Each structure stands twice: as structure tokens, then as C-alpha cells.
């Protein structure tokens, strides 16, 4: 039986922690950065846990 391939876009965007949580980069750090404060940019630059509603689909794409 053929193996399930990992979705190439998903493997670039998400990473799985040792405890099994799925992390993603927060939105809002691509443009208009001169308007945003340094505090806001520092907080946006951190990784974020994926919402519970999206976990099932992302796990399927990653082949977990």
C-alpha cells in the first residue's frame, strides 16, 4: 500500500513540539512594520499554539 505524503506547504509552516502541540508563526509581521510599536513587533515575532479547531486538519496534512 502506498505511503501518505506530507503536505509540503504544511511542513514549512508548522512544527510539532515534544509534547505534541502544533506551533505556528503569528500573522502581522510582513509589512507596515514602521507603524507598529517595538513591543507589538516583539510579541508578534513569537510562535503561537495552533487553535484547537484547526489541529485535526493540520495533523492530517502533516501525517501525524
Give the domain ranges of the chain: 8-62
Which conformational region is residue 50 in: left (phi greater than 0), alpha (psi within -120 to 50 degrees), or beta?
Answer: beta
What pLDDT, on the 0 to 100 scale, is given for residue 64? 87
CATH topology of domain 8-62: Factor Xa Inhibitor (4.10.410)
pTM for this model (two decimals): 0.83
pLDDT averaged per 10 residues, the chain (length 64): 93 96 96 97 97 96 92
Here the cell at position 50 is 495552533
Amino acid at each position: 500500500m502506498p505511503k501518505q505524503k506530507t503536505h509540503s506547504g504544511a511542513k514549512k509552516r508548522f512544527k510539532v513540539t515534544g509534547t505534541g502541540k502544533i506551533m505556528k508563526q503569528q500573522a502581522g509581521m510582513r509589512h507596515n512594520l514602521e507603524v507598529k510599536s517595538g513591543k507589538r513587533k516583539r510579541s508578534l515575532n513569537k510562535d503561537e499554539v495552533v487553535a484547537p479547531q484547526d489541529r485535526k486538519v493540520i495533523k492530517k496534512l502533516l501525517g501525524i
